[in-house]
Amino acid sequence: MTQIPTVVSVPVPQGLRPRCSEATCLVRSNTPVNGEYRRLVLEAPEAILDCQPGQFFQLLCPAPKGEHPFLRRPMSIYGYDKATGRLEFLYKVTGAGTRGLATLRPGDAFNVLGPLGHGFSMPIEWQNLMLVARGVGLATLAPLAQMAQEKGRKLTAICSARRPELAMSVGLFESFGAEVIVVHDQDGSSTPEALRPLIESRIAQGMVDAFYTCGSSRLLRLLQDLGDTHGIPGEIAMEQQMACGLGMCQACVRSFRVGDRIIQRRVCREGPVFPIAEAI
């Protein structure tokens, strides 16, 4: 296999984790997962695999025929393994950038920048974890399952989708010992009204010390309400349009509620992971 070029260190603003590099990876595989999503597996140099769940990379997408993606595309990490040099992304083909990603073939060179941002934490007092997410948000949360197993935590993963066969990462969560509950739109089990008693029954049994989520505004509001009612903290990975991914362009600024104030933060630099209670 072609040797991977040496990585290039990239200066980043104060406050970011310092190990951010630009590197050329090699494509191992790029295959469909279901009718909507594809899984890109890269052979990556060790220097860029000092990652945390919840971090992201800026991907230099190939130009599909007749299109010209101008900016890199931010994409959360789906999986990584320093020992085997593996870096994974899960994506849905929706625009020029992801159409370009879909053209990659095994052996192709692919340029990435990262890891970027601040990932999820898992304080010692968070022993019983509940993950609630939907669609591609489950890809962002997938590495948490491995982190939970490594730290000896119990994890319940509620995977929401439009149809049962579109529920993401179910097998991955199960492989790391998580209890997996699939809910979907077809039978109404994915609505906040249906999820509330399901979650509250586990809270009553002392099975939830912290929440994790990503992607869905209605799930965020549900977990904020439950967290406020029952005193349960948690974290959310925020999704946002980005340009530079380094905090300089200000394109990803969002509002957050801290106490009685509304403040502005950059998702790429101060996040993308934030306390659930502060997200708007």
Which amino acids are annotated as binding site for [2Fe-2S] cluster, given as ranges?
244, 249, 252, 268
**How far is residue 79 from each of residues 6, 18, 63, 228, 265, measured CA to CA in Å?**
22, 20, 25, 31, 27
Q: Can you say whether the dihedral through the CA atoms of 212, 51, 123, 157 is positive or negative?
A: positive
Phi, psi (rounded to 5 degrees) for 207: -100, 5
Alpha helix (H) residue ranges in 45-169: 96-101, 137-150
Annotated binding site: 73-76, 97-98, 244, 249, 252, 268
CA separation for the pair 200, 226 (Å, rounded): 8
Q: Fill in the DSSP letter of residue 197.
A: H
Known binding site for FAD: residues? Answer: 73-76, 97-98
Total Cβ atoms within 10 A of residue 112: 22
